[in-house]
Amino acid sequence: AMEEKKTYIIHMAKSQMPATFDDHTHWYDASLKSVSESAEMIYVYNNVIHGFAARLTAQEAESLKTQPGILSVLPEVIYQLH
C-alpha cells in the first residue's frame, strides 16, 4: 500500500523560494525530485495556488511535507455535479 501512488495537491510558500531559482516551476520540480525521481507532476498552477499536483506514494507525500517551503500536501478530493 505504501507503494501505491495517489494524487496530491502540494501548496508551496513562494516567499521561501531560494534565490537560486529564477522560475517557480523549477523550484517545484526540484522539491518533488528531492523525494522521488519517479514522481509525476500533473499540473503546475499559476493563479489559484502556489503549487502543483503530483502523483506520489504515501511515503513520498510524508517526506515532501518535511521539505522547506512546503505548506501542505493534500490528497485529491472528488467533487460531484449538483
Kindly report the backbone phi and psi dihedral angles of residue 73, in degrees, each rounded to the nearest multiple of 5, phi listed first.
Answer: -125, 100
- Longest C-alpha distance within the chain, in Å? 46
Q: Which is nearer to other proteins, 62 or 76 (CB)?
A: 76
Q: Does residue 43 interact with other proteins by CB under 8 A?
A: yes
Tell which one of 3, 15, 19, 22 touches other proteins (CB under 8 A).
Answer: 15
Q: Does residue 68 interact with other proteins by CB under 8 A?
A: no
Tell which one of 32, 53, 61, 64 touches other proteins (CB under 8 A).
Answer: 53
Q: Can you name the residues that pair with 5 across neighbouring β-strands?
A: 57
Sign of CA dihedral 48, 51, 55, 57: negative
Place of cell 522547506: 68
Kindly report the backbone phi and psi dihedral angles of residue 62, in degrees, each rounded to the nearest multiple of 5, phi listed first.
Answer: -65, -40
Q: Does residue 55 interact with other proteins by CB under 8 A?
A: yes
Positions touching other proteins (CB under 8 A) are 6-7, 9, 11, 13-15, 40, 42-43, 45-50, 53, 55, 71-72, 74, 76-82
